[in-house]
Amino acid sequence: MTDRKIPLPFEVSRAAIELGGNVRIARKRRRLLQSELAQKAGVGEKTIRRLENGDAGVSIGNVLSVLWALGLLPSARALADPDHDEHGKTLDLVRLPKRIRHAIPDNDF
């Protein structure tokens, strides 16, 4: 097995960069230094720098901790919400049976 890294899809890289930029803006609006946010989130300052620079290798736990520290965790809860998954809902509808048969009642008293 090789250590070859498979590049991320462009959209994933772009989303990581956008998330990092959003975190940077949120931190600055709260007038927090990277070190202060790191301490509040329970992560290292290097993690904050990597996240703000769009490094997609930052763990999901660290990302969620930073969002929590910024008060933005509720918006993260909307990620992959099944109620907003229109494609998944459509697939579910296609799989529904065409007819539903009712069981014959058991009249054996």
Residue written as tokens 């290292």?
44
22, 24, 30, 34 alpha-carbon torsion, rounded to 10°: 150
* 50-65: burial string, b at 16+ Cβ within 10 Å, e else: bbbebeeebeeebbbb
Across the chain, what does the average pLDDT equal?
Answer: 89
Mean pLDDT by 10 residues, the chain (109 residues): 73 97 98 98 98 97 98 91 87 77 68
Give residue 109's pLDDT: 61
Which domains are seen in the chain, by residue range?
10-95 (1.10.260.40)
Q: Which residues contact 30 (CB under 8 A, 6 or more apart)?
A: 70
Residue type, 40: K
Write the pLDDT tens digit of every residue in 86-108: 888 888 888 877 776 777 766 66
Give residue 4's pLDDT: 53
pTM above 0.85, yes or no: no
